Structure 1
Amino acid sequence: MAFRGDAHKFYLKLRRVNHSSNSHKRLRELEEIQDIRTFYRTLDTYTLKLVYFRIIKERNGSGMIPIFITAVPWFLFLFSDKLEDILFQHGNSLWILFSLLYFFTLTSSVIIHFRERAWAVMHIEIIQDIIAERNEPGYASPTDKSHN
């Protein structure tokens, strides 16, 4: 089993399908990004910048998950004596259920946090790319009738 990231796995998938002509253009991952780009291109630059600022806020706001993850153990520490009595009372196996639930929640939160940040960064990059394209000399706005 290889512990390579999603980027390398996508690269390998792209190489596999690249042998047939233009089949890489039908990859679900690329179509999804193209749909996002196509939509953002329909927005005027001012609105696009507002969307950009909102996504920056969302990206920075997703930092609440790590705060939650680090706060929960401290909260449980406050009640550790009572929690210990409940979980380990009379040979009770409740501690196993509690541990599994806690680690599942912790793992899920971390995965969600990094996926949310990755999506936010992708949207930010797409928006920045579109704005940069519009700032290049010779860019013809889709609403500019003189270049049709």
Structure 2
Amino acid sequence: MFSFRGDAHKIYLQLKNQNSKTHKDISETAEIKAYYESLDRETLQLIYYRMIKEQNGTGIIPIYVSAIPWLLFLFSGKVEEILFGNGNLLWVSFASVYMILLTLSVLFHFKEKAWAAFHLEIIKDILES
């Protein structure tokens, strides 16, 4: 069933209907946690610092999202001539490709930030214990 409640609720529903020890997401989380627990405290602290940098880093995707429209604006006369000249529909394919790439890159960016937060929480819990 389709729901707007997100992945957390989807995992809850899966765990409710299945043994939590055999669930692939729980197994993966346990494996990651076990790896971090096997490291010495100093190495884990260094990894934590690096993860903070990764989580707070701007990254190329937000730059891409904001720079491309400005680039098109700078060359708007030439772009307009190429895309709309001679009555062709080149602008439709250009806009479609641009929107697909933009959507995929934004989704990828936020998924990466979510994974960074996931690892940070595990590391922080281990360091605080």
Query: Which residue of 1 is the match for residue 34 of structure 2?
Result: 38
Query: Which residue of 2 is the match for residue 58 of structure 1?
Result: 54
Query: Which residue of 2 is the match for residue 48 of structure 1?
Result: 44
Deviations 1:121-142 (A, max 9, x none): 0000000001111xxxxxxxxx
Aligned residues: CA RMSD: 1.2
Structure 2 counterpart of 1:112, from 108, 111, 115: 108
Structure 2 counterpart of 1:68, from 64, 71, 79: 64
Q: Residue 122 of structure 1: SS of its match in structure 2?
A: helix
User: What code does the residue aligned with 1:74 have?
Assistant: W
Report the CA distance between 1:62 and its aligned residue.
4.6
User: What code does the residue aligned with 1:11 have?
Assistant: Y
Equivalent pair of 1:55/1:120 in contact (CA under 8 Å)? yes
Report the CA distance between 1:64 and its aligned residue.
3.6
Query: Which residue of 1 is the match for residue 11 of structure 2?
Result: 10
Report the CA distance between 1:59 and its aligned residue.
1.0
Deviations 1:26-79 (A, max 9, x none): 111111111110100110000000000111111112544223201111111101
Q: Which 4+ residue blocks in structure 1 deviate beyond 3 angstroms?
A: none
User: Which runs of 5 or more structure 2 residues have no equivalent in the other structure?
Assistant: none
Q: 1:94 to 1:100 in 2, by over 3 A?
A: same
Q: Residue 92 of structure 2: SS of its match in structure 1?
A: helix
Q: Residue 67 of structure 1: SS of its match in structure 2?
A: helix
User: Which runs of 5 or more structure 1 residues have no equivalent in the other structure?
Assistant: 18-22, 134-148
Q: Residue 2 of structure 1: SS of its match in structure 2?
A: coil
Structure 1 counterpart of 2:24, from 22, 28, 35: 28
Rg larger for: 1
Report the CA distance between 1:116 and its aligned residue.
0.4
Equivalent pair of 1:69/1:106 in contact (CA under 8 Å)? yes
> What is the rounded CA distance, in whole Å, between the counterparts of 2:21 and 2:124 in structure 1?
23
User: What code does the residue aligned with 1:92 have?
Assistant: N
User: Structure 1 residue 82 and structure 2 residue 78: aligned?
Assistant: yes
Relative contact order, higher structure (CA 8 A, sep 6+): 2
Query: Which residue of 2 is the match for residue 141 of structure 1?
Result: none
> What is the rounded CA distance, in whole Å, between the counterparts of 1:62 and 1:80 in structure 2?
27
Give the alignment's TM-score, normalised by structure 1.
0.82
